Amino acid sequence: MVFIQVTEAQEPKVATIKKLYNKMIEDKHEDVLSRMGSIISQGVLNAAGRNATISLTTRDGNLRQNAIVGLMLFTQHWYWYPMLNFLNLALTPTAIIGINDQLKVPKSFKSISNAKPSHYKYPEMLKSDDNKKKEKVTVAVLSTTSKAQARKNRKEGKTDEPTPTKVPDTEMADETDKKEGDEEAKKEEEKKDEPEPDFQELRNPSRILKQQETVITYPAEGRYIPVLDSRFGGFVVLKEQNPSEEEE
């Protein structure tokens, strides 16, 4: 709960904790209770696809009764496992959604995050073990089988010409995957060499972390301006300056 929506750029310990959880979940020899705790922890860290956080108060500072009750019931899940689901009541979305007077979301409205994109970016996707290369098993051919096949060929008048070997489809697929992986690695290296910008333009709607709200600003020029210029998260009501133009 402490590290929910905390990126590795903000706190390097997050990477260590995630590796520890993954190791304990995959280790079948690990204690059952430890594996269960790791699975629940992974669920809390990745709650709502990293698009929500735990909050017991509203943006105005008032207590959220349903969130408090939900979190209290969640802490009692040891006595009844279905109480795990009550954690959802304490979650609140972390996003900025600009709406006009008709409660529609105009695409032209944008906000600016005055921080490097890597500081608040999404965590890396979990990689499955399906990409691991399967071990190639060599089929043993007995000498008696080859002799019997040779006798059969002589009776039928066939010669013992070597048959052309066909490359298995799995090997061809492995080579293709390897080439694609090399190309992706090259593209990633090229991106790393490029200097990272100090700001990021966010479209409407967009994910914004709670701690990211302190670095959000609105462009001075644009078709829409927020009614409350001090609100940088949740629903932001917009005032239209050029209502005659068409809007998507």
Phi, psi (rounded to 5 degrees) for 116: -65, 140
- Domain membership of residue 106 (yes or no) is yes
Question: Is 103 part of a structural domain of the chain?
Answer: yes
pLDDT tens-digit profile of 171-187?
Answer: 566 666 667 777 777 77
DSSP string, the chain: -TTTT--TTT-THHHHHHHHHHHHHH-TTS-HHHHHHHHHHHHHHTGGGGTEEE-SB-TTS-B-HHHHHHHHHHTTTTT-GGGGGGGGGGEEE-EEEEE-TTS---TT--EEE-S-GGGSPPPPPPPPGGGSPPPPPPPP--HHHHHHHHHHHHHTT---PPPPP---HHHHHHHHHHHHHHHHHHHHHHHHHSPPPS-EEE-SSEE--GGGGGGEE--SSSSEEESSTT--SEEEEEEES-TTS---
Please state which of the ranges 3-7, 54-58, 73-77, 228-232 shows the lowest mean pLDDT: 228-232
Owning domain of residue 215: 95-122+172-248
Q: Kindly tell me the burial class for residue 70, based on how many C-beta atoms sit within 10 Å of its own C-beta (0-12, 13-18, 19 or more).
A: buried
CA angle 237, 243, 244 (to 5 degrees): 165
Q: What is the C-alpha to C-alpha distance for residues 94 and 54, in angstroms, rounded to an integer?
A: 10
Q: Is residue 163 part of a domain?
A: no
Tell me the average pLDDT across 105-134: 79
Mean pLDDT of 182-196: 72
Alpha-carbon dihedral sign for residues 123, 128, 129, 134: negative
Domain tally, the chain = 1
CA–CA gap between residue 163 and residue 56 (Å, rounded): 73
Specify the pLDDT at position 168.
57
CA distances from 217 to 96, 117, 194, 228, 239 (A): 12, 15, 25, 12, 16
At 143-174, the pLDDT tens digits run: 777 778 888 877 777 665 555 555 555 556 66
1-15, 42-56, 114-128, 224-238: the lowest-pLDDT one: 114-128
Angle between helices 32-45 and 13-26 (to 10 degrees): 130
**236 is a domain residue:** yes
State how far the Cα of 145 lies from the Cα of 163, in Å rounded to an integer: 16
pTM, 2 dp: 0.65
* Chain mean pLDDT for the chain: 83
User: What's the Cα-to-Cα distance from 215 to each of 10, 12, 233, rounded to whole Å?
Assistant: 14, 21, 11
Residue 174 backbone phi and psi in degrees, to 5: -65, -40
Q: Is residue 176 part of a domain?
A: yes
Q: How confident is the model at residue 119 (pLDDT cuts 50, 70, 90)?
A: confident
Domain-embedded: residue 237: yes
Name which residue leads in pLDDT, 190 or 117: 117
The predicted structure's pLDDT at residue 24: 92
For the CA atoms of the chain, what is the radius of gyration?
29
Q: Give domain status of residue 192, yes or no.
A: yes
198 assigned to some structural domain: yes
